[in-house]
Structure 1
Amino acid sequence: MPNPSLDIGLNVTGRRVLIIGGSRPARRVIARYCAAGAVLYLAADTYEVPNPLVRAVAWPHSPSAWRDLVSAVDLVVAVDLPAHDDPLLVAACAEKAVWLTREAAAPVSRPGHVTLVGGGPGDGDLLTVAALTALRGADIVYYDRLGPHDRLDEWARGAELVNVGKHPGHHAVPQAEIEQLLVTSARAGLTVVRLKGGDPFVFGRGGEEMAACRAAGVPVTVISGVTSAIAVPALAGIPVTHREVSRMFTVLSGHVPLSEEELAHLVGLGGTIVVLMGVGTLPHLTSGLARHGMRTDMPIAIIERGFSEQQRTTVADIETVVKVAGEVGARSPAVLVIGEVVRLAQRDDAAAVEVLANAATLSGQR
């Protein structure tokens, strides 16, 4: 049964709300009603009361005790109620005209579980249904700056939110410590979500976190996310593949300069090259590609801050892009796209058709 205080707009600020059930099964409900400003009472068993704002009350053991208890509050939320007490609570609420609603209990099994969630390139609308489901069931969420997090209070109501954000050259929480936090939280019986930008397995160190959980015997699930390697170019009007122009694309990290062998292989492969985290190594990349035979007029796009209000696309070519990037002050986070498909970024539909036809002809001559 849905929670009326959340689903139909009931204002519980300052209202006396009685939650029935163990503190651990009711922990998410308690957190939500606390956040909504309710005055909370918890009728629980031997579990410890988990929040200093919650007042513990004795568990009723007779019809009259149930009536006395519910008559003192405005709303009763049943979370974890023994079957033999259920009719007593229903009868008491009916007699005293107190609204009764029911909420699902949170899991209490041990050990807990970790879900690595791909949050996409930053736009909350690109979260998958599976990602939202995982967030709604979380007890604790570890997130960083590249994943969507502005609406976490809405998506993961009642969960503890922990920022383990990383910035270029600075890790607020070292990777090894993040992995230990995931394991420790799961072993404490919590349902853990690690919210990451893009896809967890595309330069997201998700593989390391999965390995750490498995090594500790902690169950782990991976939910794929929309990767910026495809989504950000698409938003800028650049398809990473196109029939007769580019039948493949290569995604690489520009965090560390490529070797001469890697540069030569890239040129030899052809197709579209997508570089994540590549602004800092752009001079090395472009000079190396030209040195190994890439045309100096090959177009390249720098797409900064994808899916934000400050998104900007700068188009140049291999020969001029370093100078242009310096002039416009290009900075991370950015996605680089190298290939004939980039020419579509600045064309209308009619011109794009002509560009693609010409590119296809050139491709066939090489």
Structure 2
Amino acid sequence: MAEHPAYPVGLRLTGRRVVVLGGGQVAQRRLPALIAAGADIHLVSPEATPSVEAMADAGEITWHRRPYAEGDLAQAWYALIATSDTDANTRASAEAEAHRVWCVRSDDADAATAWTPATGSSEGVTVAVLTTKARGRDPRHTAAIRDAVVEGLRDGTLVAPHHRTRTPGVALVGGGPGDPDLITVRGRRLLAEADVVIADRLGPRDLLAELPPHVEVIDAAKIPYGRFMAQEAINNALIEHARQGKSVVRLKGGDPYVFGRGMEELQALAEAGIPCTVVPGISSSISVPGAAGIPVTHRGVAHEFTVVSGHVAPDDERSLVDWPSLAKLTGTLVVLMGVDKIGRIAETLVAHGRSPDTPVALVQEGTTAAQRRVDATLATVAETVVAQEVKPPAVIVIGEVVAVGPRGTA
């Protein structure tokens, strides 16, 4: 029998009796999948690992605390034999054959009537990998193939077209700080499945080059505004494409809700009756300092960090930031979108009590190949920005944590 390849099949075990002999490491690895399948699991073993015992205590399996006995496999649909007793394994295997119960043996694959594939899942798809022969099986090679396929499905590098109608809608995807490797797995998969991508300038642009030719990529900064404000035009573009039955990804830099106006887009979509998925992203407020060797908190130095928008100056009537209160804090202050306002921000902080010697770091193009870090103090940052020609996008870190780590990229 071993000369022929195994016939792959998916077993529907919900409510059906499954017998597992042995409560050791093999059972511990295999039981979760059987539990997830809804099987009526009976474990026969005098002992069990703490994890297996916890499954029994939780009522997920029925544990018979004794060795294998003739008749244990009666009425079973499937059996896993994994004891350390070779004689018991052989007798149980013979019983399974007599009762026509498909049986896996952890100690002797050649003697088994079924093999357990290396399995993994991604978004409703289960990948199961089997070698073609019992002899010479390499479980590590099989698992490596499984991992490569599942990872490809999860990160969008392995994409198969959908032949059934997909539900149209919009995904607000946080693309992270700029490095394409820092987008979430879910975000990358949704991007790979999109029909239309409306992208911000600060999103991970390198990912757009990987999209299939049929995907329409729209630069949000170049949407014709007409009589609408910029954000209204973006909202309308999202709605228009979704109503055409397309899968739309709104690719944003950082996280959609951290100064990203994601909620405005979500509200507009909700009012239009368009389903929307929000995928969080890694915010530049913590990732960019980290990439430059700066921890936003550190034991004995900073027990708090505050993230504020610097797109309007402290003396601007539109500002919602309580700068005098921020000046009194001892923790880290992270300013986004504040390069051109940093002079007035620094003056305000110093005027309300922050030391002019407080360290400041400006990290430009963080996490990308063009990343650079410029250091200053509150007293010198305004002139430093001009002298060093610091340009947006840049994350500004103010506080003693700037001096904690080694100077330069971590």
* TM-score grouping bracket, smaller chain normalisation: 0.5 to 0.7
Distance in 1 separating the partners of 2:160 and 2:352? 64
Distance in 1 separating the partners of 2:271 and 2:206? 32
Out of 194, 214, 228, the position equivalent to 1:158 is 214
Q: 1:327 to 1:109 in 2, by over 3 A?
A: closer
Matched, 1:308 2:365: no
Distance in 1 separating the partners of 2:213 and 2:264? 28
Out of 274, 299, 314, the position equivalent to 1:258 is 314
Distance in 1 separating the partners of 2:191 and 2:164? 14
In the alignment, which residue of structure 1 is the partner of 2:235? Answer: 179
How many residue pairs get matched? 242
Contact 1:136-1:157 at 8 Å conserved across structures: no
What is the one-letter code of the residue matched to 1:331?
K
In the alignment, which residue of structure 2 is the partner of 1:318? Answer: 378
Structure 1 residue 313, shift from structure 2 partner: 0.9
Structure 1 residue 246, shift from structure 2 partner: 0.6
SS at match of 1:141: strand
SS at match of 1:243: coil
Structure 1 residue 263, shift from structure 2 partner: 1.2
In the alignment, which residue of structure 1 is the partner of 2:328? Answer: 268
SS at match of 1:289: helix
Contact 1:316-1:324 at 8 Å conserved across structures: yes
**For structure 1, which runs of at least 5 residues remain unmatched after alignment?**
1-101, 167-171, 349-366
**For structure 2, which runs of at least 5 residues remain unmatched after alignment?**
1-158, 223-227
Contact 1:272-1:337 at 8 Å conserved across structures: yes
In the alignment, which residue of structure 2 is the partner of 1:66? Answer: none
Contact 2:293-2:407 at 8 Å conserved across structures: no
Structure 1 residue 270, shift from structure 2 partner: 2.4
In the alignment, which residue of structure 1 is the partner of 2:162? Answer: 105
What percent identity do the matched residue pairs reach? 45
What is the one-letter code of the residue matched to 2:346?
T
User: Scaled by the length of structure 2, what TM-score is found?
Assistant: 0.56
Distance in 1 separating the partners of 2:164 and 2:203? 26
What whole-Å deviation, never above 9, does each CA across 1:196-243 have from its counterpart, x for those lacking one? 111111111111111110010100010011111111100110000011
Q: 1:124 to 1:188 in 2, by over 3 A?
A: same
SS at match of 1:281: helix
Out of 194, 218, 241, the position equivalent to 1:138 is 194
In the alignment, which residue of structure 2 is the partner of 1:243? Answer: 299
In the alignment, which residue of structure 2 is the partner of 1:333? Answer: 393
Higher alpha-carbon Rg? 2
Q: 1:248 to 1:131 in 2, by over 3 A?
A: same
What is the one-letter code of the residue matched to 1:304?
Q
SS at match of 1:275: strand
What is the one-letter code of the residue matched to 2:289?
P
What is the one-letter code of the residue matched to 2:373?
T
Higher RCO (C-alpha under 8 Å, 6+ residues apart): 1
What whole-Å deviation, never above 9, does each CA across 1:3-49 have from its counterpart, x for those lacking one? xxxxxxxxxxxxxxxxxxxxxxxxxxxxxxxxxxxxxxxxxxxxxxx
Structure 1 residue 257, shift from structure 2 partner: 1.1
Structure 1 residue 105, shift from structure 2 partner: 2.6
Contact 2:198-2:217 at 8 Å conserved across structures: yes
Structure 1 residue 304, shift from structure 2 partner: 1.0
Distance in 1 separating the partners of 2:212 and 2:404? 39
Q: 1:280 to 1:104 in 2, by over 3 A?
A: closer
Q: What is the CA RMSD across the aligned residues, in angstroms?
A: 2.4
Q: 1:271 to 1:161 in 2, by over 3 A?
A: same
Matched, 1:206 2:266: no
